[in-house]
Amino acid sequence: MLIDKVNPVAFDPMNEIHNNELKYVNALYEALEKNENVEKAYEEFINDVKNHFAFEEKLMDKYKFFATVPHKMEHQRILNELLQLQTRLDDRELIKDYLKNAFVPWLENHVNTMDTVTAGFFKMVNATI
């Protein structure tokens, strides 16, 4: 397993989405280790990342969150990296290294900073999905 948990935030629908993402990234890591179904696992992972980001962005727009632009920029940056890596799936070690040393630390940090502030805002405005 690559990552067991991320810290909870103040808005439960986001926690659900984050926990779901851990399943996909762990499944991808396992696929890479076994060298089985890597393309499919990567596709499912990246679709989940897109859904995760789109969910937060839709609510940020709906409730006019004050830091929508920097939050979206962080999402876009990591999504671009993931899309670029999708062209390098033949290099299993590169992908594993990226997930372990770039994606996971990014996700932990993003949840602890941007997402924590955003979730606090959603809670404050009684956001509904």
Residue length of the chain:
129
Residue at shortest CB range from Fe ion: 115
User: In angstroms, what is the minimal distance from the CB of 53 to Fe ion?
Assistant: 6
- Measured CA to CA, the distance from residue 21 to residue 18 in angstroms comes to 5
- Measured CA to CA, the distance from residue 76 to residue 70 in angstroms comes to 10
Nearer to Fe ion, 29 or 65 (CB): 65
CA distances from 107 to 36, 50, 79, 114, 129 (A): 25, 14, 12, 10, 22
Q: Is 115 in the site for Fe ion (CB under 5 A)?
A: yes
Which of 31, 56, 119, 127 touches Fe ion by CB under 5 A?
Answer: 56
- Measured CA to CA, the distance from residue 103 to residue 81 in angstroms comes to 9
Taking CB under 5 A as the rule, which mask of x and - marks residues 6-45 in contact with Fe ion? ----------------------------------------
Nearer to Fe ion, 48 or 56 (CB): 56
- Measured CA to CA, the distance from residue 47 to residue 45 in angstroms comes to 5
User: In angstroms, what is the minimal distance from the CB of 127 to Fe ion?
Assistant: 14
For binding to Fe ion (CB under 5 A), which residues are involved?
56, 115
